[in-house]
Amino acid sequence: MNNAAIEARIASLQGRIETVLDRALSLPDAATARLRDAMRYSALGGGKRLRPVLVYTTGSALGASLEALDAPAAAVELIHVYSLIHDDLPAMDDDDLRRGRPTCHRAFDEPTALLAGDALQAHAFEVLSQSAAGGITPDVRLAMIRVLAEAIGTSGMAGGQAIDLESVGREIDLTALEDMHRRKTGALIRASVLLGAIAAGVGAGERYAALARYGAEIGLAFQIQDDILDVEGNAEQLGKTPGADAAHGKPTFPSRVGLAEARRLALAAQDRAIAALAPLAPLDEPEMLRELAHYVVRRAH
């Protein structure tokens, strides 16, 4: 695939998940209109949609239909959006800008933002548990729920955020920094890949293990690149306030090893991700998975 074809494929999947999310968030309860509006404001406000793109790309490569992948793709993005809302709150990262717009607590208020995040997390599991499109069986739904729950708990996203908060103003070694990033950001990206695999009926064996390694490594590469962009990016490109990590005294790869070494480590994680795809070589879309590994490192936002 050439770059134009890859960009077109990503754009197509981004458009698809936007439609799926819009439908999933068409909640009719008039009594909670403000809460619903806050949920829709945050979830439908654009973004890279990397996690659902990974669900679609992985699942498609393994033979799943896009219809079967809609629910896990929506669920993982709803979880991601909930985490962004909570990360932006004054009690956490205290950010005013997200995706080029005021953060949820600025556009609405802090209590509404807190509830919007809670509701999005709950709704993600509701969406995932109810879908039977594309022949998804109850056992497959349960396996996907387990993978997603593990990715956002103490061994994943929440645990990583806790380590992040505890590390403010402290120097931590490179091993601890990598562990934090693999949990805080990498776990949900890894889960996105595995949700696509499970939806396609791949729940164990060499391909599943290879995809787990692939997801873990691009998750790490993604977060290292985020750290780099926090130093080098600008608000217009990023859609959020740059320099926030340094302002809060957070440990990052650039602050720990410098920008040049951080770039090298991001590329090394990218290369490990691509190498992990060897067992998928006979499939139709390994090239798209390889290109996504490149994409997370070369992106400018």
Q: Is the pLDDT of residue 142 over 70?
A: yes
Q: Is the pLDDT of residue 185 over 70?
A: yes
Lowest mean pLDDT among 89-98, 185-194, 277-286: 277-286
Q: Is the pLDDT of residue 198 over 80?
A: yes
Q: What is the mean pLDDT of residues 129-146?
A: 90
Residue ranges making up the domain that contains 195: 3-298
| 71 or 131, higher pLDDT | 71
- For the entire predicted model, the pTM comes to 0.93
- pLDDT category at 182 given cuts 50, 70, 90 is very high
- pLDDT category at 42 given cuts 50, 70, 90 is very high
Q: What is the mean pLDDT of residues 212-217?
A: 97
**pLDDT digit string (tens) for 27-37?**
888 889 999 99
Domain count, the chain: 1
Sign of CA dihedral 88, 147, 149, 77: positive
Q: Are the CB atoms for 43 and 120 separated by under 8 Å?
A: yes
| DSSP symbols for 152-187 | HSTTTHHHHHHHHHHTTTS---HHHHHHHHIIIIIH
Q: Is the pLDDT of residue 262 over 70?
A: yes
pLDDT value of residue 279? 83
| 85 or 280, higher pLDDT | 85
Q: Is the pLDDT of residue 51 over 80?
A: yes
Q: Is the pLDDT of residue 284 over 60?
A: no
| 204 or 123, higher pLDDT | 123
How far is it, in rounded angstroms, from Cα 210 to Cα 279? Answer: 7
How far is it, in rounded angstroms, from Cα 165 to Cα 168? Answer: 6
| DSSP symbols for 26-46 | ----GGGHHHHHHHHHHHTS-
Q: Which residue has the tokens 């499970």?
A: 198
CATH code, 85? 1.10.600.10
| 131 or 277, higher pLDDT | 277
pLDDT value of residue 11? 93
pLDDT value of residue 100? 82
Q: What is the mean pLDDT of residues 264-276?
A: 96
Q: Are the CB atoms for 22 and 65 separated by under 8 Å?
A: no
Percentage of the chain modeled with pLDDT above 70 = 93
Tell me what the pLDDT averaged over the chain comes to.
91
- pLDDT category at 1 given cuts 50, 70, 90 is low
Lowest mean pLDDT among 73-77, 109-113, 232-236, 253-257: 232-236
Q: Is the pLDDT of residue 13 over 80?
A: yes
* Structure letter (DSSP) for residue 258: -
Which residues have C-beta within 8 Å of that of residue 256, sequence separation ≥ 6?
171, 172, 174, 177
| 102 or 236, higher pLDDT | 102
pLDDT value of residue 139? 94
